Amino acid sequence: MHNGFNTQAATFRPQMTSQVYYIIVAMMLASATLSAIFFIAWKTMGEKRYALSWSVAFLAATLQWFFNLQPKLFPSFEVYWLTVNAFALAVITLGIRGHCQRTRCQYLPGNLWPYAGLLYAAVVWATVIEPNVGLRTALIPAAACLSLLLSAIIVLRHRDVPRPAEWAAGTSLVLFGISQGIAAGMAAMQGPTGDITYQALYLNFNFMTLPAGYMATGMFVIFMLASDISIDMKEIAIRDQLTGVLNRRGLGEQGAQAYASSRRTGRPVSVVMTDIDRFKTINDDFGHACGDDALVHFSKLLIEGRRAEDILARVGGEEFALILPGTPLERALEIADRLRTKIEAKEMMVNGVAVNMTASFGVAAISAKDTCLSDTITRADRALYRSKRAGRNQVDLDSSQKMLAEDGTLKSIVS
């Protein structure tokens, strides 16, 4: 949704041509439809605030277009003009507010309504106190131009690489913003008394660009909204709903990328498999709700200090996989032992009772024999179960990557 729908239908007096009448009716119906679409999106997307802001903005636009069709409802032209411009400013403010809410941008103040109030005061001044046709006509499209261009910046700078839908929405915002800027310039050229020649030029340009810009911007923002929903659904599909880390599917997707990168660049990749020791006892002694809390507690400890490129996934009931790109086997062993120590030291409180938790670990690194990351994960999983059988609360290394050191201990090699 663009955030500065051109509202210059307000320049028309009660007598309007049939062509203008049908354009306004079409824009009113389109606004009502878009308002309904964004309201449904708000209800089905977990009540995201930006979808509601855009829904209300299009509702305000619907009312604005309706009043443009019914100027005879007002006692004077000034009341008519101030009413439709009030709705126009509401549309502009709610539109850009929606973009800020979607991107959590920090570029603009959190409350834009005082600025809208100042602009409305200028409209009142140029309409009632010191009438100026050019100024009162130019103020709203100028504000629309600014808000549209700011919205484009907000959309395109939201992430390092904008999504295709964001590029499309941002481009439409820029083009519509430019057209509104041109319209504002033409409106201002009317002068204080309203030059008929420039008024005709302004109206013709405005109604030539308005429908296309209005609909293109609205539809591309719907496309952006659909893209958001698609990404959210994909995230839900690859995330474990209890702990928030990746599930098996997510591990498969991101793990395959880490494996392919390792084969392409030669960077090492290590895998750490871990699970909670005696997890069934926690469930039996304290209940399944406590068991869920234990999984969340455990996953948070694994997440702490994790690099952005590291991959953490829950692959079973209480079993987790940690993929460490760029990490050699020896370093992975250190990381696993540090996690083991931290988990042992961090007690979990259950109804005021401290519950001790330990975990076992198995470690492996990608070797020349591995055909995919699953091969590495399988070897790390075997090492995990050896650590379980050996007494738990320890770290074991994949047997194919062990050798006997001179002091009789096992040390790692990468085969």
The residues carrying an active-site annotation are 318
Residue 337 to residue 341: CA distance in whole angstroms: 6
**Cα distance between the two ends of the chain:** 57
Residue 239 · residue 247 · CB < 8 Å: yes
Residue 405 to residue 90: CA distance in whole angstroms: 75
Residue 142 · residue 202 · CB < 8 Å: no
Residue 114 to residue 117: CA distance in whole angstroms: 5
Q: Which long-range contacts (CB under 8 A, 24 or more apart) does 255-260 make?
A: 255/311, 255/313, 255/323, 255/373, 255/374, 255/377, 256/372, 256/373, 258/311, 258/323, 258/325, 258/373, 259/366, 259/370, 259/372, 259/373, 259/376
For residue 198, give the H/E element and its range.
helix 196-238
Residue 178 to residue 116: CA distance in whole angstroms: 20
CA-nearest of 58, 52, 144, 129 to 98 is 52
3-state SS, residue 368: coil
What per-residue string of b and e applies to 57-66 under the rule 16 or more CB within 10 Å gives b? bbbbbbbbbb
For residue 261, give the H/E element and its range.
helix 248-265
The arrangement of strands across the sheet holding 395-397 comes to 311-314, 319-325, 269-276, 359-365, 395-397
Residue 6 to residue 70: CA distance in whole angstroms: 18
Backbone angles phi, psi at 228, to 5 degrees: -60, -45
Query: How many CB atoms are located within 10 Å of the residue 414 CB?
Result: 16
Residue 293 to residue 48: CA distance in whole angstroms: 28
Residue 410 to residue 415: CA distance in whole angstroms: 15
